[in-house]
Amino acid sequence: MAERKTERLMNLIFALLVSRQYLTKDQIRESIADYRDSTPQAFDRKFERDKEELRELGINVEMGQNDKYFNDEPGYRIRRDEAELPDLELTREEAAVIGLATQVWEHAGLASDSTTALVKLKAIGVDVDTSVLRMAEPRLSTDEPSFDAMWDAVTRRIPVAFVYARPGQEPMERHLQPWGIVSWHDRWYVGGFDLDRGESRIFRLSRVVGEVETEGDAGSYEIPEGTDMKTIARTLFPPAPQEAAVLRIRAGRGQGLRRLAETVTPVGDGIDEVQIRYSSRWELASEVASYGPDVVVVSPADVRQAVIQRLTAAVTGTLESS
């Protein structure tokens, strides 16, 4: 499977990168589960293909010997000075892409498997330098139940069906050919071709209700050439916030709202008065309500009322249209 191959390549990169010496083929096979579970012949084929694929990606796998004076078995490594990137200045959008990539590593379980590979290397006496893994340190987290299913559909190009619930509207079943997943303001979205609307759309994963169902075979559609999820996001996401709201937030709470703050003013008793801008009254109300008693709306009155409506709905199980 594509996911297993990606996991194997990531673990091979980490193993060859963190080692302070050349790793023999036996050491490499012992440290990586997918190699270890293969027959010797299958391992040789996979390893040769993986080395070639890494070279095609611009990652040079160097071959050499640990002792120049003895004819010991040749081994492999990735030189850290060749693999590391120079200091980069990224835009917010570019940084979000990097964050998404590292989050996928963490969320898909690759971090755990890579840690296991390092433990295996240490167990067989290989000196490793774990500091090089900081170049891929995850910065984002997600607990959206639909993330894994959507990510699988994106990578395998499988159409999906799911129930989508927008605030103030009845849940509806949607049908999508997913093109990609993006992160925006600490929330996750899947974008693609909406088969119901006949146009490209973006859906917030936190609004997907229940299971994501597949509707077709892998590779059953093509992603349009030149598709750029950042461009789609800029087109389809809400416009730049225009309205201002004043909130009172308990100290140390409401971090998601604090990141959007234009001003933060302590008003005593462990409370900060925060001013933020917003484009959707209901979106802001939903965010505020999620913090319970730690965040209170001072103004405007319609946002305050929307928060009350949201909290009432949480208690009664009903939600009036706004």
Q: Is there a common fold for 147-236 and 243-316?
A: no
Helix (H) or strand (E) holding 301: helix 301-316
According to the model, what pLDDT value does residue 318 have? 46
Which of 7, 188, 10 has the alpha carbon at shortest distance from 96?
188
Burial (Cβ within 10 Å: 0-12, 13-18, ≥19) of residue 257: buried
Which of 199, 208, 178, 177 has the alpha carbon at shortest distance from 190?
178
According to the model, what pLDDT value does residue 161 have? 96
Which of 254, 50, 12, 20 has the alpha carbon at shortest distance from 131?
20
- Cα–Cα distance, 137 to 120 (Å, whole number): 20
According to the model, what pLDDT value does residue 193 have? 92
User: What parts of the chain have a pLDDT lower than 70?
Assistant: 1-4, 56-58, 67-72, 80-143, 184-186, 230-242, 314-322
How many helices and strands (H and E) does the chain possess? Answer: 12, 11
- Sorted by where each begins, the domain ranges of the chain are 2-136, 147-236, 243-316
According to the model, what pLDDT value does residue 89 have? 53
Which of 178, 124, 133, 128 has the alpha carbon at shortest distance from 151?
178
Instruction: Provide the pairing of β-strand 261-268 with 243-250.
Output: unpaired
- Cα–Cα distance, 272 to 298 (Å, whole number): 12
With 0.85 as the threshold, say if the pTM is over it. no
Fold of 147-236: SH3 type barrels. (2.30.30)
According to the model, what pLDDT value does residue 252 have? 86
According to the model, what pLDDT value does residue 309 have? 85
CATH tag, 243-316: 3.30.70
Structure tokens that stand for 134 in this block: 């900081």
Per-residue pLDDT of 110-159, as tens digits, reads 444 445 555 455 554 555 554 544 444 333 445 578 888 888 888 889 99
According to the model, what pLDDT value does residue 321 have? 37
Instruction: Provide the pairing of β-strand 208-214 with 243-250.
Output: unpaired
Per-residue pLDDT of 278-306, as tens digits, reads 877 877 888 888 888 899 999 999 999 98
- Cα–Cα distance, 114 to 210 (Å, whole number): 31
Residue type, 254: G
Residue type, 260: L
- Cα–Cα distance, 202 to 191 (Å, whole number): 4
291: DSSP letter: T
Those residues whose C-beta lies under 8 Å from the C-beta of residue 309, and which sit 6 or more positions away, are: 285, 319, 320, 322
Residues in the chain: 322
